[in-house]
């Protein structure tokens, strides 16, 4: 994660980002995405997009990007995220979690999830847009054509209409990045 070093964070912030990376690596150890790549590459790519493509230099947003799937994909409890990284990061990670690992009951609908994200503030919306942007970049290597199509339809029919009015300064560029991948 050389891009993190280039941001010039104070030592304490840099330590927290590195700690978040270690937690994400541990949480996603052995997990593989549909494309056959190690799962950890996705949250690292999200942090890279924030830092390099969108010029976001807020360490909490980079940490939330690195941890955005740990509650859903592992046994890491939300309290651990809040305790180690603070309430702001904990809240963002919880908002971006559709269904926690081991949580009883069905997942909320994707539309309800997006509406919750949209009501949670511009930072949560930005992170969800970057999540989708990162996933779309890798979509071509997903072997399941039906899943690829479903993902594109979700993006066009749900994500863009619900999240398009994000107020975060970097959201416009993230939206343009998504739209470019949808209409090459």
**How many structural domains compose the chain?**
1
pLDDT in tens, 117-171: 999 999 999 999 999 999 999 888 888 889 889 989 999 898 888 877 766 777 7
Residue 101 has pLDDT above 80, yes or no: no
Supply the pLDDT for residue 178. Answer: 84
Whose tokens are 């859903």? That residue is 72
Residue range of the domain that includes 92: 2-182
Cβ atoms 3, 48 nearer than 8 A:
yes
Supply the pLDDT for residue 167. Answer: 66
Which pair of tokens denotes residue 8? Answer: 């010039």
| Of residues 92 and 5, more confidently modeled | 92
Look up the CATH number of the domain holding residue 124.
1.10.3210.10
Angstrom distance (rounded) from CA 112 to CA 46: 23
Looking at residues 60-84, what average pLDDT do you find? Answer: 96
Supply the pLDDT for residue 184. Answer: 59
Angstrom distance (rounded) from CA 146 to CA 11: 46
Q: How do the residues of the chain divide into helix, strand and coil, expressed in percent and rounded to 5? A: 65, 0, 30
Phi and psi angles of residue 36, each rounded to the nearest 5 degrees, phi first: 95, 5
């Amino acid at each position: 994660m050389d891009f993190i070093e280039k941001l010039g964070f104070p030592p304490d912030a840099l330590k927290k980002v590195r700690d978040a990376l270690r937690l994400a690596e541990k949480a996603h150890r052995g997990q593989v995405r549909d494309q056959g790549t190690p799962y950890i590459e996705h949250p690292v790519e999200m942090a890279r997009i924030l830092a390099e493509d969108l010029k976001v230099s807020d360490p909490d947003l980079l940490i939330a990007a690195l941890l955005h799937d740990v509650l859903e994909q592992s046994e890491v409890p939300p309290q651990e995220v809040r305790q180690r990284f603070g309430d702001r990061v904990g809240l963002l990670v919880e908002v971006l979690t559709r269904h926690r690992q081991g949580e009883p009951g069905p997942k909320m609908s994707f539309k309800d999830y997006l509406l919750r994200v949209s009501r949670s503030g511009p930072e949560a919306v930005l992170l969800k847009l970057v999540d989708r942007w990162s996933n779309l970049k890798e979509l071509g290597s997903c072997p399941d054509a039906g899943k690829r199509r479903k993902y594109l339809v979700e993006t066009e029919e749900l994500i863009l209409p619900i999240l398009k009015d994000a107020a975060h300064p970097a959201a416009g560029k993230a939206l343009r990045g998504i739209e470019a991948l949808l209409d090459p």
